[in-house]
Structure 1
Amino acid sequence: MNVKETEPEVSTMTALFTTLPGLFQHITRTYQNPVMLACKKDDAWVKFSTAEVVNIVCKIGAGLLELGLRPGDRIGIAANSSPYWMMMDFAALGCGAITVPLFSNIAPENLRYEIQDSGMRFLFVDSEKQYDTVKASGGIVERFIALPGDMNLSDCISWDSLMSLGEKRMASQPGEWERLSNDVRSTSTATIIYTSGSTGTPKGVELTHDNLVTQVQGTALRFPLDPKNDCVLSCLPLAHGFERMAAFYYLSTGSSLYFAEEVKKVGEALREVHPTVITLVPRLLEKTYDRMRSGADSAKGFKKILAQAAFKRAWEKIPGVPATLKDKLFDALVYRKLREALGGRLRFIISGSAPLDHSLYGFLLNAGFPVYEGYGLTETSPVIAANYPGHLKVGTVGKFFPDVEVRIGEDGEILARGPGIMKGYYGKPGETAKTIDENGWLHTGDLGKLDAEGFLHITGRKKELFKTANGKYVAPVPIEQALCNKLADMAMVIAEKRPFVTAVLFPDMEGLKRLKPELGCAEMDDASFLHSEQARAYMQKAVDDMNTKLNHWEKVQKFHLADRILSVDAAELTPTLKIRRHVVEEKFRAEIDAMYAA
């Protein structure tokens, strides 16, 4: 089945720019924002106006040219998200260079691999740890550039030195960076973004300026912003393709973009900035809910009874059904306070990168949180489909994005085609040919279906359909989501070529604080509790309840409750917090084998 938007949608931005340097020029011509970019430092917000950003970007660009950067060179950014990250990106892109974003929490071996694979000549760093890791690998990086901070590295060009070099170049070659920016073509490669590598070695996704610009233009149609009223809080890494494209869009509208100091302080930032827009991954929404629930459970007397009744109603009500008098009362007394704790002004909470639990999605909508779930891949720049105002259905990832074609293959695989499809995997033509067929269709590896209203449903992962020893297929992701609760923060299903389904569960250390008193184990330390009969019985009941909703071959017969969490540093999680199955299975080989022992 081949399906496309029946009525072509044209963004108002279509004629304004065709490249990312063109997008930057559009911003500087159109807006004079007193707060274009901002970040938190020493408990105060440091703000950059449009004029200040233009001045710094031009100096960075000229400084890079003075250091020998050439069009087509790869330049890495291994730094936490900040205004400096965005300014470095715009400056390098204006030189005609190709930026390679690197997650700040990336495993050392992956950092070294991505630097080598991309042929990176220049690298921005914001920590001595990253610098030491790269230097120890004997890599090919010719120039290290330090962001503003306390780093003291002898062979690393300081931020002030880069600015001085830029001023020197601008004096000797006036207008050079601007001319190079104008020479950038829409078909030129803008960036190489490495996939998370949850199942193996990361691959470099090569995206052009046109890939990203068409996504920016599509986003303008789905989520229009008004710079007079809207401002944005960013809390995801800019190395994440979803957040970076979104950041380009936010800035193209003239809206102020604030960067949260760290994920743990997002709540504080929300209450200070009062944003109208935020992009999140489901894990952050789950943690946000856990904090809300914890607050409700810790209330006293009538407040606790009221909060628990309101939470129960939000879980049970079908989203979209007209509010009753009881719902309006709960909104005035409970839900409004929950929204105020997140700043009180949010118009768009855009969720992507992983599936959002349907029940949690319904709760958030019923509590008045404007959540819109979307779907896409790094390889599609990234959005394929999204729910948006006036077009929202829980349990789906929405309708097709503008200019995106979708076809459901005979085997149920979602195929996508359009201007957002990647140029290819960098240096891997064979892998590219396996993913993009001769007709331009990108094979996503995800399984899905379309309903009569044009909403896309994700039904599973083609490569994550486990086949048991009995020939039955098991989709692990829905089971893993259902296994998560106050005790288990993450779950990994085992089923491939096995006689029955098992799971390894990883603890929720925050959830334990609430759960231990409930089970009469408040005095136990965490390690003792995780090995206790009470914890085992609690989890067994959760597994039994879940199994009632599964086919007999999908039921989890045994589980192992681990006594530690997984980490990115140990290469057990990707930087976007997805489990690296092959790594974790190997590390827990003994525990897994024990579950299948006679």
Structure 2
Amino acid sequence: MEYTPTTILKTVDEGLKKRKSNVYAGVKRNGQWIETSVDDFMKQVKLLALGLHQLGVKKGDKVSIHAENSTEWLIVDLAVLSLGAALVPIYTTQPGDQIKYILENSEAVVHFVSNDEVFAETKPLIKSIDTVKAVVSILGSKHQKLRTFEDLKQNGATLDQEKPGLYEELKNQVQPDDIATLIYTSGTTGVPKGVVLTHDNIAGNARASFEIFPFKPDEIDDPKILSYLPLAHMFERTASYIYAFGGVPVYYIEDIEQIREDFQTIKPVYFVTVPRLLEKIVTGIKVKGQELSGLKKRLYYWAVNLAENYDPENPPPSLKYKLADKVVYSKIRELFGGRLIGVNVGGAALSPNIARFVNGIGVYCGLGYGLTETSPVLTGPPVGELRIGSSGKALPCVQIKIAEDGEILAKGPNIMKGYYKMPEKTQEVFNEDGWFCTGDIGHLDEDGWLFVTDRKKSLFKLSTGKYVAPQPIENALVNSGFIEQAVVVGSEHKFCGALIVPNWDNMKKRFETSGHEFPTENITENEFVLKRIQKEVDKVNEDRSKWEKIKRFTLLKDQFTIDKGEITPTLKVKRNVINKNYKEIIDSMYADEVT
């Protein structure tokens, strides 16, 4: 297949011709949904770009944004790209010292913040960052020194009257090889690295990903997409360009705790997600059956069991499936608004049981694979095909191969240019033949379907010499309705152990249905709780090799959090931090181990 380099701007412009809806995007703010029309959206992009130009932003400059997902986030993005400048997104959960590092390392000249609450994290540091010439508040500010979103657009409007063709002139100078963004990896180890991605890296990846989209927008009446993953992450960012190219409006939620309500309001046909949301939803669906009794309960769990064993290559008999769909699955789909066609999962491994279940209830659930450094998609399931447990096949123009040690290697137009100002780090991730080394372990089957095992750095060796991939074991554990989080440990020990955070809400319900009183103290040492978790661990151990079985576990009352640095903003486990934070607890699990 011949590949033609392109830009994000051309990709968005092509998508404008496909739009049937007058809405470009929507955002929920203070409980109300606010829609922005296509014309208004593109006008705001133009005026903001000219306002930034008047502020001195030029081609090659870096502009940072520290804000929640919103229509304005998209406007800032396209305005910055229209000038040939690069956007530097920052997670709203990022601590002040990391924000300072990112602003200094990227040499950002303008810094956007959503509001004063978000700005509070940066305010004490901003004076010491020499490159930042202006801070712009998207939603307004009480700080007089901050510029406002509206002021910049008004300045842009004045400049547009003075020089009517300037915007198009600046926009036409943007080339495929120009840097579009620096994405600072949240980093499970070490300091954040700025991943340098060009227009062509991202635009080409968005177009190729659209080819394996599970539906065609022009074949659906009023398609809408719901978004909850941070736009600061490359998965959701590239997805925003896929939606733009497909001409589909996207709606940004306000609070993940209200997502069920948002499903009912927006009635989306599609969304992208990390596995944890689906795990929680499926767990909730299973627990819901406990409220039923008699025949209804038996029928419910018969249908749930049928979905959990669903095989897309060998689907169940149609009569059996039609009955399950009528009495159970159709009602489950209503929880998503009733119009959901598909979801795509990335960011981490998806439990095969979850994949079977979601596909089994009649919602397409495909698993893709990629990294920030690959813009991000490398593989995904071709349209109409699925293999449970696989991350699909390589996208057009992407090459995948497996190194001798099992590491997944990649080549393609979507591979980053390198890490910003880090030539040595860049050199480390490319081999002598120019293949990008992903740091993940996996294998390809005879038909070219990729199966990802774990992060190379996550693998650990027991003192017996056996290697353990912790992620599949952890995924199996959190598939239980009684386990919220789990981290497998055991490096240089004789057996595997686990730190487990129970799902206390579901545990409390089990106490109530069993006639026990839920304890208010020492709940992690309660005999009933320990026995319940042991039962779940035993289920997982059944399918594990002898050396992969969890021999001991310790329960934790509180969850691992982003604030404590134990998980990344995309919910990946930072094993080095957890090993450090819980060293005494981990050591106690092996206290009587004979070396």
Q: Given the superposition, is the C-alpha separation of residues 284 and 594 from structure 1 closer, same or farther in structure 2, using an over 3 Å criterion?
A: same
What's 1:214 paired with? Answer: 204
The alignment partner of 1:237 has SS state of: coil
What's 1:5 paired with? Answer: none
**Aligned residue runs from structure 1 range 467-506, under 5 A:** 467-484=461-478, 485-506=480-501
**Residue 274 of structure 1 contacts residue 343 of structure 1 at CA under 8 Å; is this kept in 2?**
yes
User: Is the counterpart of residue 316 in structure 1 residue 306 in structure 2?
Assistant: no
What's 2:455 paired with? Answer: 461
Compute the TM-score of the two structures, normalised by the length of structure 2. Answer: 0.94
What's 1:3 paired with? Answer: none
**Aligned residue runs from structure 1 range 374-523, under 5 A:** 374-484=368-478, 485-523=480-518
Cα displacement (A) at 1:438: 3.5
What's 2:194 paired with? Answer: 204
After alignment, is 207-216 or 157-166 more displaced?
Answer: 157-166
The alignment partner of 2:546 has SS state of: coil
User: Is the counterpart of residue 139 in structure 1 residue 129 in structure 2?
Assistant: yes
State the alpha-carbon separation in 2 of the partners of residues 249 and 27 from structure 1: 9
State the alpha-carbon separation in 2 of the partners of residues 234 and 368 from structure 1: 21
**Residue 189 of structure 1 contacts residue 206 of structure 1 at CA under 8 Å; is this kept in 2?**
yes
**Aligned residue runs from structure 1 range 541-580, under 5 A:** 541-580=535-574
Cα displacement (A) at 1:480: 1.3
**Given residue 430 of structure 1, which amino acid in structure 2 is its aligned partner?**
E
Q: 1:100-122 deviations in whole A, cap 9, x for unaligned?
A: 11111223332222222212221
User: Is the counterpart of residue 48 in structure 1 residue 39 in structure 2?
Assistant: no
Cα displacement (A) at 1:398: 0.8
**Residue 145 of structure 1 contacts residue 156 of structure 1 at CA under 8 Å; is this kept in 2?**
yes
The alignment partner of 2:547 has SS state of: coil
State the alpha-carbon separation in 1 of the partners of residues 133 and 35 from structure 2: 32
**Residue 521 of structure 1 contacts residue 529 of structure 1 at CA under 8 Å; is this kept in 2?**
no
Gaps of 5+ in 2: none
Q: Given the superposition, is the C-alpha separation of residues 462 and 74 from structure 1 closer, same or farther in structure 2, using an over 3 Å criterion?
A: same
**Residue 22 of structure 1 contacts residue 181 of structure 1 at CA under 8 Å; is this kept in 2?**
no
Q: Given the superposition, is the C-alpha separation of residues 545 and 28 from structure 1 closer, same or farther in structure 2, using an over 3 Å criterion?
A: closer
**Given residue 470 of structure 1, which amino acid in structure 2 is its aligned partner?**
T
State the alpha-carbon separation in 2 of the partners of residues 303 and 31 from structure 1: 44
After alignment, is 299-308 or 194-203 more displaced?
Answer: 299-308
**Residue 314 of structure 1 contacts residue 364 of structure 1 at CA under 8 Å; is this kept in 2?**
yes
Q: Given the superposition, is the C-alpha separation of residues 199 and 518 from structure 1 closer, same or farther in structure 2, using an over 3 Å criterion?
A: farther
Cα displacement (A) at 1:518: 4.4
**Residue 468 of structure 1 contacts residue 497 of structure 1 at CA under 8 Å; is this kept in 2?**
yes
**Aligned residue runs from structure 1 range 95-114, under 5 A:** 95-114=83-102
**Given residue 563 of structure 1, which amino acid in structure 2 is its aligned partner?**
K
**68, 76, 80: which one aligns with 1:88:** 76
After alignment, is 80-89 or 454-463 more displaced?
Answer: 454-463
User: Is the counterpart of residue 173 in structure 1 residue 163 in structure 2?
Assistant: yes
The alignment partner of 2:81 has SS state of: helix
How many residues align structurally? 584
**Given residue 343 of structure 2, which amino acid in structure 1 is its aligned partner?**
I
Cα displacement (A) at 1:458: 1.2
Cα displacement (A) at 1:434: 0.7
Q: Given the superposition, is the C-alpha separation of residues 201 and 509 from structure 1 closer, same or farther in structure 2, using an over 3 Å criterion?
A: farther
Cα displacement (A) at 1:422: 0.4
State the alpha-carbon separation in 2 of the partners of residues 536 and 163 from structure 1: 59
Cα displacement (A) at 1:9: 7.8
The alignment partner of 1:463 has SS state of: coil
Compute the TM-score of the two structures, normalised by the length of structure 1. Answer: 0.93
User: Is the counterpart of residue 21 in structure 1 residue 6 in structure 2?
Assistant: no
* Percent of paired sites with the same residue: 35
**Residue 487 of structure 1 contacts residue 515 of structure 1 at CA under 8 Å; is this kept in 2?**
no
Cα displacement (A) at 1:397: 0.7
State the alpha-carbon separation in 2 of the partners of residues 536 and 376 from structure 1: 38
Q: Given the superposition, is the C-alpha separation of residues 499 and 129 from structure 1 closer, same or farther in structure 2, using an over 3 Å criterion?
A: farther
**Residue 107 of structure 1 contacts residue 571 of structure 1 at CA under 8 Å; is this kept in 2?**
no
**Aligned residue runs from structure 1 range 270-309, under 5 A:** 270-309=263-302
Cα displacement (A) at 1:499: 3.1
Q: 1:304-334 deviations in whole A, cap 9, x for unaligned?
A: 3321221122223434324342321111111
Cα displacement (A) at 1:427: 0.9
Cα displacement (A) at 1:504: 1.1
What's 1:4 paired with? Answer: none
State the alpha-carbon separation in 1 of the partners of residues 504 and 64 from structure 2: 35
After alignment, is 555-564 or 80-89 more displaced?
Answer: 555-564
**Residue 65 of structure 2 contacts residue 90 of structure 2 at CA under 8 Å; is this kept in 1?**
yes
State the alpha-carbon separation in 2 of the partners of residues 390 and 572 from structure 1: 38
**Residue 107 of structure 1 contacts residue 570 of structure 1 at CA under 8 Å; is this kept in 2?**
no
Q: Given the superposition, is the C-alpha separation of residues 43 and 446 from structure 1 closer, same or farther in structure 2, using an over 3 Å criterion?
A: same
**Residue 115 of structure 2 contacts residue 139 of structure 2 at CA under 8 Å; is this kept in 1?**
no
**185, 202, 226: which one aligns with 2:217:** 226
**Aligned residue runs from structure 1 range 187-266, under 5 A:** 187-223=177-213, 225-227=216-218, 229=221, 230-266=223-259
Cα displacement (A) at 1:162: 1.8
**Residue 443 of structure 2 contacts residue 451 of structure 2 at CA under 8 Å; is this kept in 1?**
yes
Q: 1:35-70 deviations in whole A, cap 9, x for unaligned?
A: 111112343321111110111111111111111112
**Given residue 388 of structure 2, which amino acid in structure 1 is its aligned partner?**
V
The alignment partner of 1:553 has SS state of: helix
**Given residue 380 of structure 2, which amino acid in structure 1 is its aligned partner?**
A
**Aligned residue runs from structure 1 range 125-136, under 5 A:** 125-136=113-124
State the alpha-carbon separation in 2 of the partners of residues 272 and 286 from structure 1: 22
The alignment partner of 1:458 has SS state of: strand
Cα displacement (A) at 1:179: 1.2
What's 1:268 paired with? Answer: 261
Q: 1:1-46 deviations in whole A, cap 9, x for unaligned?
A: xxxxxxx387xxx6xx811122233344664741111112343321
State the alpha-carbon separation in 1 of the partners of residues 509 and 188 from structure 2: 31
The alignment partner of 2:111 has SS state of: strand
**Residue 193 of structure 1 contacts residue 241 of structure 1 at CA under 8 Å; is this kept in 2?**
yes
Gaps of 5+ in 1: 1-7
**Residue 103 of structure 1 contacts residue 575 of structure 1 at CA under 8 Å; is this kept in 2?**
yes
State the alpha-carbon separation in 2 of the partners of residues 269 and 418 from structure 1: 37
State the alpha-carbon separation in 2 of the partners of residues 68 and 296 from structure 1: 60
Q: Given the superposition, is the C-alpha separation of residues 63 and 333 from structure 1 closer, same or farther in structure 2, using an over 3 Å criterion?
A: same
State the alpha-carbon separation in 2 of the partners of residues 121 and 272 from structure 1: 39
Q: 1:381-437 deviations in whole A, cap 9, x for unaligned?
A: 111111143221101111111110011111111100010000111111111111022
After alignment, is 295-304 or 264-273 more displaced?
Answer: 295-304
State the alpha-carbon separation in 2 of the partners of residues 511 and 401 from structure 1: 40
Q: CA RMSD in A?
A: 2.0
State the alpha-carbon separation in 2 of the partners of residues 515 and 113 from structure 1: 47
What's 1:58 paired with? Answer: 46
State the alpha-carbon separation in 2 of the partners of residues 212 and 204 from structure 1: 15
**Residue 33 of structure 1 contacts residue 256 of structure 1 at CA under 8 Å; is this kept in 2?**
yes
The alignment partner of 1:36 has SS state of: strand
